[in-house]
């Protein structure tokens, strides 16, 4: 009996080891599930081309641009109510709430101005819920609204130019008293713990009520199996939204919060490989994960094309903040970045979309525009302030890209059409930061590949 038992255990061990080896060989033959290869759907270039272009040429200079004063501060309204369902204006979790700063902690340039919920200096009153600002307080989702730069006077001189023609995204009302400047460097996009029914309702509303599906109408979720049965414009809409979703998920996996082991010390932020696999491994996503990752490259190329198309427009921007030296530095850096963007060999071709001159093509474009406009409104329903902040920025950035690519009767020479076509400062900042998020996702996707690859090598050994 003992011998039979030992033989049985031995057989089980052999079977388990054989299964593991076969699984590893199966994965290694095709690479990690996130080791994507081949051509990007509905585009003319390959994934490895984008990886090299982004990670080696573009990502470093773009990071240096986004930390400058012009691009790090954005004016947003985080207090607009949800227009689609009842919202009690409370965060889903405590750490998502916005905490304003006592006036004495504000930089001198901000005192006396009605910003961040702080009344003017003459009133001498502060909101009762104000707390001390501390960017290192370990809170997951709180938006730190302090501005550490003394150049607030420059904010007043930034001009807002609304362009109602072919607007794909609803921008915040510049006359609203609820608008506030936020320092994006103090409020990085990362995991906040925002999940559950509230978060699921956001994505369900986006996909089921606003994304096209095969056979007409909307919802349920479109899968890669029936996507190619749709027309190019509808596929592009879905892939852009799916790519944005993938990008956001990668950010949350790359900057995930892990509690301290003793439950008393501060936790730490860093990559969470298990969370990444949960979101994208084909075994856990009914085979869809790799396709969702490929859609990241689609939206990357779409926004890259918009920036390259509007290069002459951005080359004439002053990127004014009131500091002549810093502004000049930004102008030079942006021009270098635009040279790199324009040098990409296989840009997305927007001319093949809505190319017909008939009534049906115009109707499809308007439906495309209105449904993305609707998605921009859904961002006001996000229950976590920091998630809402970055959701609004990235959706506004994509909407600005659509505006550049699909505005009617718009020549590629933006310098000539500057009187007819203008972008507000919020649109410019949103576009660059949104593309920065995509660039960051492509960069971190390579990091996850390396981590998963090294893990498999250890298993093989």
384 is catalytic: yes
Residues 14, 10: Cα–Cα separation, whole Å: 6
Q: Where are the alpha helices (DSSP H) in 142-231?
A: 152-157, 197-210, 224-227
Catalytic residue among 96, 101, 381, 384: 384
CA atoms within 13 A on the CB side of 283: 7
CA atoms within 13 A on the CB side of 379: 26
Q: Is 86 a known ligand-binding residue?
A: no
Angle at the Cα of 26 (from 22 to 32), degrees rounded to 5?
Answer: 130
381 is catalytic: no
Judged by DSSP in three states, 182 sits in: strand
Token duo for residue 351 = 């001319």
Using a CB cutoff of 8 Å and minimum separation of 24, what contacts does 49-52 make?
49/345, 49/346, 50/297, 50/300, 50/301, 50/442, 51/442, 51/446
Q: Is 80 a known ligand-binding residue?
A: no
Neighbours of 302 (CB within 10 A): 24
For residue 417, what are the contacts with CB-CB under 8 A and spacing of at least 6?
Answer: 410, 411
Sign for the CA dihedral angle at 158, 65, 326, 316 comes to negative
Report the run of H or E that residue 257 belongs to, with start and end: strand 256-258
Residue (of 442, 110, 88) closest to 254 by Cα position: 442
Are 53 and 443 contacting, i.e. CB atoms less than 8 angstroms apart?
no
Residue (of 176, 186, 190) closest to 75 by Cα position: 176
Q: What is the CA radius of gyration of the chain?
A: 24
Q: Is 245 a known ligand-binding residue?
A: yes
Residue (of 258, 131, 269, 133) closest to 189 by Cα position: 269
Backbone φ and ψ of 134, nearest 5°: -155, 110
Q: Is 39 a known ligand-binding residue?
A: no
Residue (of 15, 30, 35, 59) closest to 304 by Cα position: 59
Backbone φ and ψ of 455, nearest 5°: -65, -40
Catalytic residues, by residue number, are: 384, 387
Q: Which residue positions form the known binding site for FAD? A: 190, 192, 203, 242, 245, 279
- The binding site comprises 190, 192, 203, 242, 245, 279
């Amino acid at each position: 009996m003992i011998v039979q038992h030992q033989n049985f255990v031995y057989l089980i061990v052999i079977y388990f080891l054989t299964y593991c080896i076969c699984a590893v060989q199966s994965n290694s033959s095709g690479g990690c599930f996130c080791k994507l290869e081949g051509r990007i759907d509905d585009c003319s270039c390959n994934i490895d081309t984008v990886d090299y272009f982004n990670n080696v040429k573009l990502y470093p200079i773009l990071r240096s641009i986004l930390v400058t004063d012009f691009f790090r501060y954005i004016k947003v309204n985080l207090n607009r109510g949800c227009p689609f369902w009842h919202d009690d204006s409370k965060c889903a979790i405590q750490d998502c709430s916005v905490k304003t700063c006592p006036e004495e902690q504000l930089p001198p340039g901000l005192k006396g101005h009605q910003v961040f919920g702080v009344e003017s200096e003459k009133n001498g009153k502060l909101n009762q819920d104000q707390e001390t600002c501390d960017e290192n307080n370990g809170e997951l989702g709180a938006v730190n609204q302090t501005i550490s730069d003394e150049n607030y006077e420059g904010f007043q001189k930034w001009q807002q130019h609304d362009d109602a023609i072919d607007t794909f995204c609803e921008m915040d009302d510049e006359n609203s008293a609820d608008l506030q400047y936020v320092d994006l460097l103090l409020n990085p996009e990362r995991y906040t713990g925002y999940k559950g029914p509230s978060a699921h309702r956001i994505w369900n509303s986006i996909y089921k009520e606003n994304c096209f599906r095969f056979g007409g109408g909307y919802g349920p979720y479109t899968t890669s199996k029936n996507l190619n049965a749709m027309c190019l414009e509808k596929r592009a809409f879905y892939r852009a939204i799916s790519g944005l979703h993938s990008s956001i998920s990668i950010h949350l996996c790359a900057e995930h919060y892990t509690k301290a082991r003793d439950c008393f010390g501060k936790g730490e932020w860093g990559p969470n490989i298990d969370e990444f696999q949960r979101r994208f491994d084909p075994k856990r996503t009914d085979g869809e994960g790799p396709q969702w990752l490929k859609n990241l490259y689609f939206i990357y190329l779409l926004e890259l094309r918009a920036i390259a198309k509007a290069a002459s427009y951005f080359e004439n921007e002053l990127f004014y903040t009131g500091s002549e030296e810093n502004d000049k530095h930004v102008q030079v850096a942006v021009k270098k970045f635009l040279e790199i963007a324009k040098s990409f060999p296989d840009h997305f071709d927007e001319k093949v979309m809505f190319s017909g001159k008939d009534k049906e093509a115009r109707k499809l474009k308007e439906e495309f525009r209105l449904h993305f406009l609707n998605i921009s409104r859904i961002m006001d329903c996000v229950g976590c302030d920091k998630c809402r902040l970055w959701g609004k920025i990235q959706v506004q950035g994509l909407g600005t890209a659509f505006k550049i690519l699909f505005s009617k009767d718009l020549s590629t020479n933006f310098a000539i059409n500057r009187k007819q076509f203008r972008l507000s400062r919020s649109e410019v900042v949103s576009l660059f930061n949104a593309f920065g998020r995509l660039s960051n996702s492509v960069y971190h996707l390579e990091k996850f590949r390396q981590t998963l690859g090294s893990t498999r090598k250890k298993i093989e050994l």
